[in-house]
Chains A and B, each alone.
Chain A
Amino acid sequence: MAYEITLLTTMAISVLFALSLNFISGFCGQISLGHAAFLGTGAYTSALLTKASVPFLLTLPLAAMTAALLGVLVGLTSLRVRHDFLAITTMGVAFLFVGIVRQQDFLGGEIGVSGIPPTGLGRVGFLILAISLAAAFAAFSLYVRRSWMGFVFKSIADNEDVARLLGIDVPRYKLAAFVVGTAVAGVAGALYAHHFRFLAPDSFGFIESVSVLAMVIVGGIGSVWGVAFAAAILSVLPLMFQFVNDFKLLLYSALLFAMMRFSPDGVAGLVRRFLVTGPRNRG
């Protein structure tokens, strides 16, 4: 069972992480190419704390706080730059994060952090925690989307200038989206650190940021169920493709491309079309 538990835990952490980006990019329309930096911030915070004998559960809120602190900083830049400029700025944040962590001895530098203690929850307990957190945030996301705040987010995502004209305090809501999304990414990071129990700067680089954005978009940006589904599948896809060995990444990228090309609104769109028009008479 340990193998299945590991896979399920990996999936749950990815779902939480992808939903956290969905909050920023899906709900509020701020595309980020550097979300792994917040995963990393949470992971390093939590790992260093448990190594200093702080109980694991106590490190979760602290990981959320440090990640959100960085999130506010990046959120502030989102008030200044927009659209593709913002996407590339966040990408820059990811590179800066890795570049800085590399050189900090107290973060393990290039050598990384190993010997991260077990959580004391056991494999199953940890899995249950990860699933509960992912489910709780999914529920929260669904709630927010239907709330007044969700409509404000949507109006900002659709057209920021119009939202401003309507008298919406755009900066405040953008910052709110960044704070929530990055804090949750920090929590996902804390789980990540105690799941893999080894951290190195390269694990939180551009590739990780792109993968999580791919999960969100393949799922259908903004759709909680779609994103959760895509994150769960995509996170273990490379392992499922082990049998094609050499062609693993090729198959992965071909699938990703086919999804964008033939169902650009993601899994959510696929399901919606299926439900609306039925399986037979699709145009």
Chain B
Amino acid sequence: MLSVELFVQGIVQGSIYALIALGLTLVYGLLRILHVAHAALFTLGAYIGVLVTNQTGSLPLALAAAALFAGFVGMAIYKLAYEPLLSRPPYIALIASIALFIASEEIYRITFGPYGLSFVDPPLQGQIQLFSGFYLKHGEVLVIGLSVTLLGLLAWLSSSTRTGIAWRATVTDPEIAQACGVNIQSVRYLNFFIGSALAAIAGVLVALLNNLVEPTMGSVPSYKALAIIVLGGLGSIRGTLLAAMALGVIEAFGTIYIGRMLDRDAIAFAFLIAVLMVRPRGLLGAR
């Protein structure tokens, strides 16, 4: 029974990873940029989530506000930071992105204080019993439910609508798509909007689970999400989802069985390196 519990815990963590990493894959697929500052939008979402919930008492409103606001900030980051650097080698954008990320942490700390924020009246604190002795918090159920819904919605949009098909074509091969008349620029904006909105939603969910939003809460996603998209095979959406879930589950079992030899990050990266040695282009990367 313990292994089932650990597996479910891993899926909860993996769902959060998936929401964060998906946006990063979208950006990478189109621009070949390792967008570290993506994690800044995750934290931004968490702050908006707590602030709006505390003001209005409505979690759905908070989720929507976080997604919208972070989406627009993501588009602004593309316009102001990345677009001028597209012709440069990728590591220039990487350092610019890291600088943006550090600046964001400092702005959060200076604006909201170093102690972090919590919900005044934390929503969704109840729990359901999955089987004897195993409870899942409503927040955790929401994590899984929302990820499946959002990712499913995205899959449906991208396969069944005209915009979606153009979008998917562009992510797969920007040049051919452009030759077919797709407006690359608007697809880029769309990518940043969707990716950032998903990261912000992940931020609200993590805020909900921890009842704590800190200026530095993006530090783990900032590098873990990079590991996930590389593990999945840079730019592959299915690969990213698979890698996110795999990492979530491996970390869950790892913390229990080898947690005293290696910390959570080291477990994740040991797995990453092992996979890359066998499959140098990631789990589902192009050969």
Contact = CB atoms under 8 A, between A and B. Distances in A.
Are chains A and B touching in the complex at the 8 Å CB cutoff? yes
A253 B102 contact: yes
Given A91-B223, A99-B263, A250-B107, A257 B100 contact: yes
A81 interface: yes
Nearest to B114: A246
Contacts of A217: 91-92, 95
A30 B99 CA distance: 21
Contact of B34 (A80, A81, A84): A84
B85 A261 contact: yes
A246 B110 CA distance: 8
Contacts of B94: 87
A82 to B, nearest CB: 7
A103 B261 contact: yes
Nearest to B93: A260
A213 interface: yes
B230 A80 contact: no
Contact of B106 (A85, A102, A214, A253): A253
Nearest to B84: A261
Interface string A233-261: 00000000000001101101110110011
B interface, size bucket:
35 or more
B287 interface: no
A85 B281 contact: yes
A221 B276 contact: no
A260 B95 contact: yes
Nearest to A76: B277
Nearest to B85: A264
Nearest to B285: A85
Contact of A89 (B98, B105, B276): B276
Interface in B74-129: 81, 84-85, 88-96, 98-100, 102-103, 105-107, 110
A218 interface: yes
Contacts of B280: 80-82, 85
A89 B273 contact: yes
A88 B227 contact: yes
B175 interface: no
Given A85-B234, A92-B272, A98-B266, A210 B226 contact: no
Interface in A94-112: 95-96, 98-100, 102-103
A206 interface: yes
Contacts of B277: 77, 80-81
**Best-surrounded residue of B81, B261, B263 (most CB of chain A within 10 A):** B263
A60 interface: no
Given A85-B280, A95-B265, A250-B103, A264 B273 contact: no
B253 interface: no
Contacts of B227: 88, 91-92
A49 B93 CA distance: 41
B2 to A, nearest CB: 24
A214 B269 contact: no
B131 to A, nearest CB: 34
A249 B102 contact: yes
A253 B270 contact: no
A138 interface: no
A213 B95 contact: yes
A156 B268 CA distance: 31
Given A100-B262, A103-B260, A246-B110, A92 B81 contact: no
A260 B103 contact: no
A15 interface: no
Nearest to A31: B91
B195 interface: no
Nearest to B102: A253
Contacts of B269: 91-93, 95-96, 99
B282 interface: yes
Given A250-B103, A253-B103, A253-B106, A261 B81 contact: yes
Contacts of A80: 276-277, 280
B84 to A, nearest CB: 6
A80 B85 CA distance: 29
B276 A85 contact: yes
A206 B223 contact: yes
Contacts of B272: 88-89, 92
A214 B85 contact: no
A264 B230 contact: no
Interface of A: 31, 77, 80-82, 84-85, 87-89, 91-93, 95-96, 98-100, 102-103, 206, 210, 213-214, 217-218, 221, 246-247, 249-250, 252-254, 256-257, 260-261, 264
Given A87-B34, A99-B269, A257-B103, 7 more contacts: A31-B91, A91-B226, A91-B269, A93-B273, A249-B106, A250-B107, A253-B102
26 contacts: A80-B280, A81-B276, A84-B34, A84-B230, A85-B276, A87-B94, A89-B230, A92-B270, A93-B269, A95-B268, A96-B266, A103-B260, A103-B262, A214-B95, A214-B99, A217-B91, A217-B95, A221-B91, A247-B106, A250-B106, A253-B100, A253-B106, A256-B96, A257-B81, A260-B99, A261-B96
